[in-house]
C-alpha cells in the first residue's frame, strides 16, 4: 500500500465496530475451539470443493480429526481471501505465527485455540480486541430473545421461514406456539405476524430481515383472494406453485406493512437460490442466477416510502442497479457486501461506485455476516483495506479532499448511518 493508504487505514482501524448483520448466537458468541472456526461454511465448502469428502464433517468425528481432514485441503485454498481471515484470527487471537496452516501444524493451532478460548472472559476479550461495540443478530421468528444483553447483541427478526416455508407444517406449529395463536386463515396469520413484531420490538429488535431468491417479485395480494388458499394451506392441504407464490407475496407484503407500523428497517438480501448443489456441505449448497433485477421491487419501494430498505445484492453485476436505485429512491439504502461479493475483487469496484455516486447518508458500509465473534475483525479489516484504497484514490487524490474529510466519510458509512437507520 502507499503511505497515504497506510495512513488512512491506520485511522480506519480506530473506528470501533457496529456490526449491522451477523449470525452470532448470543448464547455462544465466541468460538469454543478451532472446530467452531473451521466449521464456518467457507472452509468446509472450499475444502469440499477442493476435493475433501464430507464424511469427516459428521458430528461423530472427533474435532481434532475433522480439523486434520480440513487441514489437508487448506493448501489448496491458501490463495483465497477467505483463508486470509482464518490466518488473521490465528495470528491475532491465538498467538500463532506460522505463515500457513498445514496438516503438520494444525495440531499446534488446535491446542492454541483451545487454550485461548477456554479463558473465562474470552468473549469480552475478543470483542475488546476487535473494537466491537454492538452486533446485530439473525433471530428465528420464534426466538424467545431472553438470556442475553440486547444492548450488546441487537435482535433482528428473520423472516425467510414465514415467507418461503409456510407450506411446511412445522413452520405453522412454531408460529402458533410463538404467538399463542391458531392461525388458519389470512386474518389470524396477519394477527400472529403482528404479535411477532410486538415481541421483537419489545425485546429491542432493530430490524426485520429476509433473504430472497433471484426471481422473487413482491407484489400486493388482495387478502380476500389469498384467504381461500391460506385456509387450505394452513389446514394441511397442498397448494400449487402459483398459489404458494401468492402466499409468499402476501406474507412478504404483510411484513413490509408491519415494518412501517413498527418503524423497523426491512433488510432485503436479494438473489440467492437455495440447494443448487444438492450434495454440498451444510450451508455450502446455495448459488445464484445473475439474471435478476431490482425492477422486481419497484412496487414495493413505491408502496412503502416510510420503510427504509437496506439492500444487499449477491452479485457485483447487480451493484450498479443498487447504486442507481439508492440514488433515486429515498427509501433504498445500500448495505454491505454479501457472500459471493464479499471479496476485495468485488468490494472495491462496488464500494467505489456507491461512495462516488449515491448519497453518503444512504450507505451501510459493511457487516460481518459472521457466525462467531472472531470473524468480525478480519472481515471488517478486509473492508477497511478496500475502503482505504478508495478514499486515497477517489477522494484525497482525485478530488483533493483532506484526509480528515475522507475519514469522516468512512465514519459515516461505518457508524453514523448504522446508528441513524437502525436507531441504535
Q: How far from 407 is each of 14, 129, 169, 385, 413, CA to CA, in Å?
A: 10, 21, 51, 13, 10
Applying CB under 8 A, which of residues 49, 72, 105, 171 lies at the interface with its own copies? 49
| C-alpha cell, 154 | 441487537
Exposure class string for 13-28: b at 16+ Cβ within 10 A, else e: eeeebbbbbbbbebee
* 260 is a site residue for its own copies (CB under 8 A): no
* 50 is a site residue for its own copies (CB under 8 A): yes
Applying CB under 8 A, which of residues 226, 358, 370, 388 lies at the interface with its own copies? 358
Q: Angle formed by the axes of helices 106-117 and 63-73, to 10°?
A: 130
Applying CB under 8 A, which of residues 222, 330, 419, 423 lies at the interface with its own copies? 330
List the x/- string, 5-44, binding to its own copies by CB under 8 A.
----------------------------------------
Contact between 167 and 244 under an 8 Å Cβ cutoff? The reply is yes
Cell 449515491 appears where?
Answer: 358
CA–CA gap between residue 133 and residue 393 (Å, rounded): 29
Whole-number minimum distance, CB 106 to its own copies, in Å? 18
CA–CA gap between residue 407 and residue 424 (Å, rounded): 21
Degrees to nearest 5, angle at CA 342 with 140 and 400: 125
* 55 is a site residue for its own copies (CB under 8 A): no
Applying CB under 8 A, which of residues 31, 248, 316, 335 lies at the interface with its own copies? 316
Applying CB under 8 A, which of residues 185, 321, 369, 374 lies at the interface with its own copies? 321
Whole-number minimum distance, CB 155 to its own copies, in Å? 27
* 320 is a site residue for its own copies (CB under 8 A): yes
* 361 is a site residue for its own copies (CB under 8 A): yes
Applying CB under 8 A, which of residues 222, 225, 399, 423 lies at the interface with its own copies? 399
* 79 is a site residue for its own copies (CB under 8 A): yes
Whole-number minimum distance, CB 313 to its own copies, in Å? 11
* 404 is a site residue for its own copies (CB under 8 A): no
User: Which one, 164 or 200, has the nearer CB to its own copies?
Assistant: 164
Rg (CA), the chain: 22
CA–CA gap between residue 419 and residue 424 (Å, rounded): 5
Q: Angle formed by the axes of helices 169-179 and 186-202, to 10°?
A: 60
Applying CB under 8 A, which of residues 77, 154, 163, 376 lies at the interface with its own copies? 77
Cell 466449521 appears where?
Answer: 39
User: Which one, 166 or 388, has the nearer CB to its own copies?
Assistant: 388
Question: Which residues ranging from 171 to 190 are in contact with its own copies (CB under 8 A)?
Answer: none
Q: Is the dihedral of CA 93, 94, 96, 100 positive or negative?
A: negative
* 1 is a site residue for its own copies (CB under 8 A): yes
Specify which residues 267 forms β-bridges with: 209
Applying CB under 8 A, which of residues 341, 368, 381, 418 lies at the interface with its own copies? 341
Q: How far from 317 is each of 19, 292, 332, CA to CA, in Å?
A: 25, 10, 18
User: Which one, 155 or 284, has the nearer CB to its own copies?
Assistant: 284
User: Which one, 2 or 187, has the nearer CB to its own copies?
Assistant: 2
**Part in contact with its own copies (CB under 8 A); list of ranges 16-24, 75-83, 137-145, 167-175:** 75-83
CA–CA gap between residue 90 and residue 109 (Å, rounded): 7
Amino acid at each position: 500500500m502507499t503511505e497515504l493508504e497506510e495512513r488512512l487505514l491506520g485511522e480506519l482501524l480506530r473506528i470501533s465496530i457496529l456490526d449491522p448483520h451477523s449470525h452470532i448466537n448470543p448464547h455462544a458468541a465466541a468460538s469454543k475451539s478451532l472446530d467452531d472456526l473451521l466449521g464456518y461454511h467457507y472452509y468446509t465448502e472450499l475444502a469440499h470443493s477442493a476435493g475433501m469428502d464430507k464424511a469427516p464433517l459428521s458430528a461423530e468425528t472427533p474435532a481434532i480429526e475433522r480439523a486434520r481432514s480440513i487441514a489437508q485441503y487448506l493448501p489448496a485454498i491458501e490463495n483465497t481471501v477467505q483463508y486470509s481471515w482464518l490466518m488473521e484470527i490465528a495470528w491475532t487471537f491465538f498467538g500463532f505465527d506460522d505463515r500457513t496452516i498445514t496438516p503438520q501444524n494444525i495440531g499446534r493451532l488446535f491446542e492454541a485455540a483451545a487454550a485461548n478460548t477456554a479463558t473465562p472472559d474470552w468473549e469480552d476479550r475478543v470483542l475488546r480486541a476487535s473494537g466491537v461495540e454492538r452486533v446485530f443478530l439473525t433471530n428465528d421468528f420464534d426466538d424467545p430473545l431472553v438470556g442475553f444483553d440486547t444492548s450488546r447483541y441487537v435482535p433482528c427478526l428473520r423472516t425467510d421461514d414465514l415467507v418461503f416455508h409456510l407450506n411446511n407444517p412445522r413452520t405453522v406449529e412454531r408460529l402458533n406456539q410463538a404467538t399463542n395463536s391458531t392461525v388458519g386463515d389470512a386474518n389470524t396469520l396477519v394477527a400472529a405476524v403482528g404479535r411477532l413484531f410486538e415481541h421483537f420490538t419489545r425485546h429491542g429488535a432493530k430490524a426485520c430481515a429476509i433473504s430472497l431468491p433471484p426471481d422473487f417479485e413482491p407484489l400486493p395480494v388482495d387478502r380476500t383472494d389469498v384467504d381461500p388458499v391460506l385456509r387450505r394451506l394452513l389446514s394441511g392441504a397442498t397448494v400449487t406453485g402459483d398459489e404458494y407464490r401468492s402466499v409468499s407475496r402476501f406474507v412478504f407484503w404483510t411484513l413490509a406493512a408491519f415494518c412501517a407500523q413498527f418503524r423497523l428497517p426491512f433488510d432485503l438480501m436479494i438473489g440467492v437460490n437455495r440447494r443448487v448443489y444438492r450434495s454440498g456441505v451444510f450451508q455450502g449448497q446455495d448459488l445464484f442466477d445473475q439474471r435478476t433485477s431490482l425492477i422486481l421491487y419497484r412496487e414495493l419501494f413505491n408502496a412503502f416510502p416510510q420503510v427504509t430498505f437496506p439492500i444487499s445484492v449477491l452479485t457485483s453485476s447487480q451493484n450498479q442497479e443498487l447504486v442507481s436505485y439508492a440514488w433515486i429512491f429515498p427509501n433504498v439504502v445500500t448495505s454491505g457486501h454479501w457472500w459471493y461479493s464479499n471479496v476485495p475483487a468485488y468490494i472495491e469496484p462496488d464500494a467505489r461506485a456507491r461512495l462516488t455516486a449515491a448519497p453518503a447518508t444512504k450507505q451501510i458500509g459493511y457487516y460481518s455476516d459472521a457466525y462467531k465473534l472472531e470473524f468480525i475483525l478480519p472481515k471488517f479489516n478486509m473492508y477497511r483495506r478496500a475502503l482505504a484504497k478508495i478514499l486515497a484514490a477517489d477522494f484525497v487524490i482525485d478530488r483533493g479532499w483532506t484526509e480528515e474529510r475522507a475519514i469522516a466519510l468512512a465514519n459515516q458509512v461505518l457508524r453514523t448511518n448504522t446508528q441513524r437507520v437502525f436507531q441504535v
